[in-house]
Amino acid sequence: MEVSVDNHLYMLQNDVVGGALSDSSSDEEEDAIIEELVKGNTEVESLIFDPNDEGTSDQWIKRNASLVRLTGKHPFNSEPPVARLMEHGFITPVPLHYVRNHGPVPQARWNDWVVEVTGQITQPTCFTMDELARDFPSREFPATVVCAGNRRKELNMVKQSTGFHWGAAAISTSVWRGVPLWSVLKRCGIYSRSERALHVCFEGAEDLPGGKYGTSIVREVALDRSRDIILAYMQNGERLSPDHGFPVRMIIPGCVGGCMVKWLKRIIVTTKESESYYHYKENRVLPSHVDVELANAEGWWYKPEYIITELNVNSVITTPCHDEILLINHWTTKMPYVLKGYAYSGGGRKVTRVEVTLDDGENWKVCTVDSAEKPNKYGKYWCWCFWSLEVEVLDLLGTKEIAVRAWDKALNTQPEKLTWNVMGMMNNCWFRVKTNMCKLNKDKIGIMFKHPTQPGPQSGGWMEKEKHLEKYSEWNQIMNESVSSIFWKTYSTSEVRKHNHVDSAWIIVHGHVYDCTHFLNDHPGGRESILVNAATDCTVVFEAIHSGKATEILEQYRIGELITTATDTTI
Ligand code: HEM
Ligand SMILES: Nc1nc2c(c(=O)[nH]1)N[C@H]1C(S)=C(S)[C@@H](COP(=O)(O)O)O[C@H]1N2
Ligand SMILES: [Mo]
């Protein structure tokens, strides 16, 4: 029953999108259709002042409460529940768009924002927002934004990387409007054939622990009209929202989200690539044997060949969803079941094939692929697509695992096994959903589906179970705790609670007490992320964010053990 209702919705959605944006429709028709899609979508996802933002520098921003927070209260990094993301189909409502913020959101105003274009150009210029919006022709088109860390939690289950736990929903699609980058650079007189001006750097507005957020692309890419690179000031028909870069951000279709600088303040044309800390320390895939120490010792961060620009081909199963139960009985075994998900690739390469295996790669079934967008005039595709495959419930009964892989126009496909890398980037191994038989009651059985992970601190994926079994036994843990309380000073919860400010910031992790005061200014996540959690137990969120390296550093700040007494808990 549930299966068929769900299918029906999906069909409706794709009829509208697929039919509407097919090759035959005119530009006006397309505009009208995009408008309809956007309108239908934004109304259903509400925005509120989230209590989680209270006391942080983002408390002025309204957000959607269903987003899953991946780094605690602050900074705001979140993804939508994947089922909810898929419900909306091709265009993601802005409130549900995943968010990746390295720090506080700048409180910007349209009227006094300027974008400075500077460096190796003949006419350095500062543009106001009105000038950008009025004095240049604009382009509007749908483009999918994906974080290079999408699906990182699967890698983290093998070994924690330096990145936090993205699930499979660090991806969203919007209709963006903005000024083509080439036209801005041309207006400012970028040298046409010069050895000097090789890179175009972008810089954001926030002050972060590592300085300004910034990255760069090479001049040829920046000026390549087939790439549709824009300075975007509208998303889904409205001005940008604070979390997505208001008033203006870069959109570099087909590339990783990390290239698309938000709250854009400066464009610098230079002989050298971006010198931002974030350009070097993020958005790279280093070889598997390289950890933080080796990367520092041997300068791996600075080897240009490991930088990520274009997205790789990827696909994910979204139906069945995690923990979905499919009832098995005399009738249902003969019924069809429709597997579904999304797929994308980078560089404008179309997803040309999606395949599902029910026997660990022995045989592959070819899925139906719905590419809702029309390619640009250079034949490039900037958006995700949706795939589906009808199987019989009986087929699902006979398998332990459903896996998916996609192919793109260049015949790139996804690897069977994951490739661990220190920053946990670009995971695109086959997405595997496990099936478990379960007894629902005396005479009812079902298949329960398990996704590899659940995003952020949420537990439940099949990879997490495997990891948990490997970890120390409960007995060891109890022993450790009782032994350490003999050697360490002990503190009550009410004592710890007093240390919640800049001059004394304590935290509790796994029942140990840490004084982080002297680490505040060195913290790669910023001092605010510790301060908003000071004096509380942040075990779950600490574990979900940090690498082994961070755990080592944390130990230097241990001052004692927490004791919980009956009186304490009633305070
Ligand atoms: C003394 C205590 C702490 C230490 C030693 C520490 C250490 C680190 C380190 C080394 C990183 C870089 C990533 C990595 O190597 O894992 C990091 C990032 C981060 N930490 Fe902490 N941390 C501490 C406490 C906290 C607390 C209490 C929170 C909040 C619950 C927090 C939130 C974050 C965030 C949000 C990031 C940034 C993640 C990103 O933007 O990529 N940290 N921390
Ligand atoms: N100024 C600035 N730009 C930024 C970031 C940031 O923290 N600051 N994060 C980057 C990363 S890593 C990603 S994945 C995308 C996310 O865009 P979104 O939050 O609109 O989804 O923005 C990029 N641009
Ligand atoms: Mo990202």
pLDDT string in tens for the chain (571-residue length):
233 323 322 222 232 233 333 334 456 666 665 566 555 555 578 999 999 999 999 999 999 999 999 999 999 999 999 999 999 999 999 999 999 999 999 999 999 999 999 999 999 999 999 999 999 999 999 999 999 999 999 999 999 999 999 999 999 999 999 999 999 999 999 976 666 769 999 999 999 999 999 999 999 999 999 999 999 999 999 999 999 999 999 999 999 999 999 999 999 999 999 999 999 998 899 999 999 999 999 999 999 999 999 999 999 999 999 999 999 998 888 899 999 999 999 999 999 999 999 999 999 999 999 999 999 999 999 999 999 999 999 999 999 999 999 999 999 999 999 999 999 999 999 999 999 999 988 889 999 999 999 999 999 999 997 765 555 455 556 666 666 767 899 999 999 999 999 999 999 999 999 999 999 999 999 999 999 999 999 999 999 999 999 999 999 999 999 987 655 443 3
Strands 171-180 and 230-235: antiparallel
* DSSP track, 322-376: TT-EEEESTTGGGSEEEEEEEEE-STTPPEEEEEEESSTTSS-EEPEEE--SPP-
**Lining residues, ligand 2, CB within 6 Å:** 97-102, 145, 147, 204, 206, 213, 243-244, 257-258, 260-263
The pLDDT, as a whole number, for residue 41 is: 55
The tokens describing 127, both together, are 């543009």
The pLDDT, as a whole number, for residue 44 is: 72
The model carries a pTM of: 0.90
Q: Is 281 near ligand 1, meaning CB less than 6 Å away? A: no
Mutate which of 530, 531, 533, 537 for ligand 1 pocket (most atoms within 8 A of beta carbon): 530
Helices 27-42 and 2-20, interaxial angle, to 10°? 150
Q: Whose CA is nearest to atom 19 of ligand 1?
A: 525
Q: Is 525 near ligand 1, meaning CB less than 6 Å away? A: yes
The tokens describing 165, both together, are 């736990």
Q: Is 72 near ligand 1, meaning CB less than 6 Å away? A: yes
The tokens describing 39, both together, are 């309108």
CA distance 214 to 202: 5
Give the fold, CATH level 3, of 314-457. Immunoglobulin-like (2.60.40)
The pLDDT, as a whole number, for residue 25 is: 45
Q: To which H or E segment does residue 558 belong?
A: strand 558-563
Which ligand has the shortest distance to the CA of 250? Answer: 2
Buried b (16+ CB within 10 A) or exposed e, 94-122: bbbbbbbbbbbbbebeeeebebebebbbe
For 67, the 3-state DSSP assignment is coil
Q: Which atom of ligand 1 is nearest to the CA of 551?
A: 5
Q: Does domain 465-563 have CATH number 3.40.50.300?
A: no
Q: Whose CA is nearest to atom 5 of ligand 1?
A: 554
Q: Do domains 314-457 and 465-563 have the same CATH topology?
A: no
DSSP state of 212: S
What are the sequence ranges of the domains in the chain? 314-457, 465-563
CA distance 75 to 50: 14
**Ligand 3 centre distance from Cα of residue 104 (Å):** 16
**Ligand 2 centre distance from Cα of residue 256 (Å):** 10
For 443, the 3-state DSSP assignment is coil
Which ligand has the shortest distance to the CA of 293? Answer: 1
Phi-psi region of 348 (alpha: psi -120 to 50; beta: other; left: phi over 0): left
Buried b (16+ CB within 10 A) or exposed e, 200-213: bbbbbbbebbbebb
Q: Whose CA is nearest to atom 6 of ligand 1?
A: 550
Which ligand has the shortest distance to the CA of 553? Answer: 1
Q: Which atom of ligand 1 is nearest to the CA of 534?
A: 27
Q: Which atom of ligand 2 is nearest to the CA of 147?
A: 14
8 Å CB contact between 193 and 251:
no
Strand runs labelled E in 133-186:
139-146, 171-180
The pLDDT, as a whole number, for residue 16 is: 29
8 Å CB contact between 307 and 276:
no
